[in-house]
Amino acid sequence: MRTRAALRAALGEQNPRPGLVPTLGALHAGHQALIRQAAAENGRVVVSVFLNPTQFSNPEDLSRYPRDLARDVALAVEVGANLIYAPTVAEVYPAGDATTVHVAGLTDRWEGAARPGHFAGVATVVTKLLNHVRPARAYFGEKDFQQLVVIRRLHADLALPGEIVACRTVRDSDGLALSSRNARLSPTERRQAAVLWRALFRMRTAAEGVTDVDALLAAGEKAILIESAVQLDYLAIVDPTTLEPLDRLVPGARAIIAATVGETRLIDNVLLSRESGVGSAE
């Protein structure tokens, strides 16, 4: 479906409403896990494939993003997608478009600081897509943890349709979180990138005995330092709702990391303290 009208016609006005898995395209096994879960929980699944220009603060980043709709459709249908919604830019941003959605506070730090305008782009496009599709449930990966928190916030604040479902991060055998960006890594960089998960894994293991935040951060930083080719952008232990750095572990506390390998910026996160309603265990 290329237009909202065609999508609405295909879905009809009948309940039950579908599950939605919003993507930028370049589908991988992480997206497929979201689609599988959506297919298990909903009668019909819409996968949106929309490379949203407004969430890329770096135009080069946008131009390098892989585009292959035929491949995305095949991967989505293989695991249970019923409808692919691949709107044009003009369908999502109609002539004269002037409206943006902003989430204050939560978007100031971390990825928001590194990528100015990114979360306004995300918040705006997610608001639009939820209104285009009107799903019963929409599925987002925990890999982009700050994005998930921002989306939960705007979804509650604006009373958007359906329910937001968080899905655990899918990892390669060495623990690297699946991401469309991993395709940009050279074989050497790909090996080096595994240090992000090693650092998070070490922190999660240490958190079973140690609750001192500084000690946990030191353990994670030490693990990263072993791989001198990896530039740490941030490593922090944050509250899972406010994303503010924590002085001490609380239920649901998350370790979040961003680091650059070669020219590719990667992010990941892990739940440190399990007794929480937010996020799944990994």
Give the footprint of a second copy on this chain (CB under 8 A).
Answer: 4, 13, 15, 93-94, 96-106, 123, 127-128, 131-132, 153-154, 156-161, 241
Q: Between residues 36 and 118, which has the closer beta carbon with respect to a second copy?
A: 118
Helix residue spans in 187-272 (DSSP H): 187-193, 195-206, 213-225
Round to whole Å and give the CA distance between 273 and 146.
17
**What's the Cα-to-Cα distance from 32 to each of 10, 29, 146, 226, rounded to whole Å?**
22, 5, 21, 33
Where residue 24 falls (left for φ over 0; alpha for ψ -120 to 50; beta otherwise) is alpha
C-beta neighbour count of 197 within 10 angstroms: 22
Q: Between residues 7 and 185, which has the closer beta carbon with respect to a second copy?
A: 7
Tokens of 56: 């890329």
97, β-bridge pairs: none
Q: Between residues 15 and 173, which has the closer beta carbon with respect to a second copy?
A: 15
Q: Please name which of 170, 173, 174 lies closest in space to residue 144, comparing C-alpha atoms.
A: 170
CB 5, min distance to a second copy, A: 11
Q: Between residues 153 and 181, which has the closer beta carbon with respect to a second copy?
A: 153
Torsion on CA atoms 203, 207, 213, 215, rounded to nearest 10: -70
CB 37, min distance to a second copy, A: 24
Instruction: Indicate which residues carry an active-site annotation.
Output: 31
SS3 label, residue 24 = coil
Round to whole Å and give the CA distance between 199 and 219.
7
CB 32 within 8 A of CB 75: yes
